[in-house]
Structure 1
């Protein structure tokens, strides 16, 4: 399993996704191994290359992207990516995208997450969220589009993206105050959400299943048996 989060970008000098990824570890009682983790640069044409190189290096069965949507009121499980880029939006290097299309491919591609199981698990945990078909047209969408297009060929069974609002932790550090349509979420809830999503992916792949390509456990902690069973900027 690979957990990837975006770093800082214009308008968001501290990204809760980066903080989550750099500090994430399984806790005592969770089964499996810690996922591999990587922070992605928020740069047009570069973010996907960094992620793809890591996928080829470690050969995970699933990838979960996490990014910031500071305009959101709740967590968003993104279900699609689009072959579009916002031409006016600069990246961390000050560059703008070379065109409005990402490249060859369909206009829309779907993620591969067990949405129903994740939704039930998050609801049972009391974590507010929404399913979303609009990841914006910034770097998160560009990277997610490449992931949806290239992921199956790289051996991925599951891949998807979670948008988080700004966390209370980072808001306190930066002195941010919520604007209209915004809300701060507890950093602890972001951590809980990611653990639940990873556990649901582990449920899909099979608990403690050995990945035949590299002979090690492929993930991640079970929250509980009932948890996962079936039955624009600032936006990064």
Structure 2
């Protein structure tokens, strides 16, 4: 392995843009679907803010984007089959996976997933640094424009940055395997992974660690801002051509 795979061809040859090709029906856009995923609690925690946040956005629409949220298990064996099933069921145009990263103080939009898995899951299955895909590239860059998504979140008043490491646990696993599935099956889907901090209540039983946290309202606002940056407002439908190039840059 000595390769990193970019997402250029999955952005219609324009790696600096969210792909926004639309078809009109009766004067309006066909709605696009965003699959939003959050993980169950893990590591002894009673809650996972990623799951709580995506639940609040399930069923909402942002311009021409309709949101479908699902829960993912913290399981090496189960998480990817579940994502693949959700792709087959909902045929999303975008996928944003969200995960908890205790210790981080800001929203982290992940740039890359690497081909390594490490750690014990909720079901006592352990990975010891093996490649996720033995014949796969060293890494996959996120196919959504991470720089602009982080900028949109920051502009909404929630601290955010582009992260260059998603770790080696299930969050990185989800990012890498999802991008691998998209590329190898030539699917017209763009995706990324967003890490979020602990909730304040998750830090109260760890007083000696001085861990940062973020309110659930702020986390939800961050995700809203990211989605809105990807969407075409339906109020502008009449002024936009049938094929629209997004203005969000990487």
TM-score for both structures, normalised by structure 1:
0.77
1:76-155 to 2 correspondences below 5 Å: 76-86=108-118, 89-97=119-127, 100-103=130-133, 104-152=135-183, 153=185, 155=187
- Structure number with the higher strand fraction is 2
Distance 2:40 2:132 in 1: 21
> Is the 1:32–1:208 Cα contact (8 Å) retained in structure 2?
no
TM-score for both structures, normalised by structure 2:
0.73
1:66 aligns with 2:98: yes
SS in 2 for 1:64: strand
SS in 1 for 2:219: helix
Q: CA deviation at 1:32?
A: 4.5
Counterpart among 222, 228, 238 of residue 193 in structure 1: 222
Structure 1: runs of 5+ lacking an equivalent:
211-227, 232-236
Moved over 6 A (4+): none
SS in 2 for 1:72: coil
Q: CA deviation at 1:25?
A: 4.5
Compared CA separation, residues 207 and 114, structure 1 to 2 (3 A): farther
Distance 1:100 1:57 in 2: 30
Larger Rg: 2
> Is the 2:62–2:228 Cα contact (8 Å) retained in structure 1?
no
Distance 1:194 1:137 in 2: 23
Q: CA deviation at 1:116?
A: 3.3
Distance 2:153 2:94 in 1: 19
1:3 aligns with 2:32: no
> Is the 2:93–2:189 Cα contact (8 Å) retained in structure 1?
yes
SS in 2 for 1:71: coil
Q: CA deviation at 1:156?
A: 3.6
Q: CA deviation at 1:113?
A: 1.6
SS in 2 for 1:162: strand
Query: What count of residue pairs does the alignment treat as equivalent?
Result: 206
